[in-house]
Structure 1
Amino acid sequence: MDSAVRPVPLASNFLVPNGTFWVELIAFAIIVFILAKWVIPPINKAMTARQEAIRKQFADLDAAKSEAHSAEERYKSQLEEAKHEAARIREEARDQGAQIVADARAKAEQEAQRIIEHAHAQIEADRQHAVTTLRGEVGTLATQLAGRIVGESLDDQARQSRVVDRFLDELDGKAGAAAGASGVH
């Protein structure tokens, strides 16, 4: 039974610190000190700079969003103004077109009236010319007819003129009386 209870030597107990433990502990502390003094601060500084850059990017993004939104609002208001301006220009053009049409219509009516008056004057001149020509021809025919009826020649120009004028005046009187009786002018 002796073999069951044997004391374990102190040197082989792993729970008890020995010389290598202290060396390893010192080496670990030196590494931690070196890391804390020269490695971790630049890493922290880089991480802080990166966080600041990200914050700045977010702020720039928010500013860009705000600027884009205001630019969109300005664009919409300018577009709306342009639409109103286009509608106003169309309305002015429509009004000017109506005025041009009215002016053209008035000028056309004046021109038509002038043409009608000119035509009436021309017709009156043609009528006067026709009356004068017919008086001469009717006078000649009436003189020849009267000469055949009377049996003498009416070659005297003054006499012939008087006879023709008297004859035509009688015809005009009868035509005027007939037109007055029938209501035609």
Structure 2
Amino acid sequence: MHLATILAAEEEGGWANAYPIIPHPGELIFGIIAFVILYLVVAKKVVPRLEAMYTERAAAIEGQIEEADKANAEAAELLEQYKAQLAESRAEASSIREEARAEGAQILAELKAQAQAESERITTSAKAQIAAERQQAVISLRAEVGTLATELASRVVGESLEDEARQRRTVERFLAELEAGDIEPVSAVTGADAATEQES
């Protein structure tokens, strides 16, 4: 039935009425020629430009990627240098601290040694001064004791001891007896002499 309808349509209206979806052969040929021309124009003009733009864009992206990789490598290298410098600075600071501690200990030891030496010098000087003063006091005391002994002996014996040799012998004998403990102290003799003077 369908075939019959098509044949009837061909008889009545021709090719266009029989196949309304299929274009006319002239239009079909014109469309094919226009498509070929458009294809050639696109292939010759548009596609190369698109490929060139794509290539440039890809090159730019690759360049940016390379620059980013280079920047990352430089940043990593700078980071390693910074870490190395930081470690070196810490080691140097530690070395400086150790040197300062050693120098401080050495200075402290030197100060202690100087203080000890100064203390020993002061002690030695004080001992020497005390010994000299003691010697001077002994000499002065001997002179005073000698004079007192001469006066006492002169009073007790009743003779003059003005003669220097006799006075020296008397003093030496008196001091020897005084050191040996054979005679009484000067205070006792002085007290006895005072009592003798009161009686006379």
TM-score bracket relative to the smaller structure: 0.7 to 0.9
**TM-score w.r.t. length of structure 1:** 0.75
**What are the ranges of 5 or more consecutive residues in structure 2 without an aligned counterpart?**
182-200
**TM-score w.r.t. length of structure 2:** 0.71
**Structure 2 counterpart of 1:10:** 15
Partner Cα separation in structure 1 for residue 178 and residue 29 of structure 2: 164
Partner Cα separation in structure 1 for residue 28 and residue 170 of structure 2: 172
Give SS of 1:9's match.
helix
Residue type at the aligned position of 2:14: P
Map 1:84-95 onto structure 2 (within 5 A).
84-95=91-102
CA shift, 1:133, in A, is 1.3
**Structure 1 counterpart of 2:44:** 37
Residue type at the aligned position of 1:62: D
Alignment match of 1:82 (pick from 85, 89, 93): 89
**Structure 2 counterpart of 1:146:** 153
1:165 matched to 2:180:
no
CA shift, 1:157, in A, is 4.1
Residue type at the aligned position of 1:9: G
- Give RMSD over aligned pairs: 2.6
Partner Cα separation in structure 2 for residue 98 and residue 33 of structure 1: 95
| Larger deviation, residues 4-13 vs 30-39 | 4-13
1:59 matched to 2:99:
no
**Structure 2 counterpart of 1:105:** 112
CA shift, 1:173, in A, is 4.5
| Larger deviation, residues 33-42 vs 165-174 | 165-174
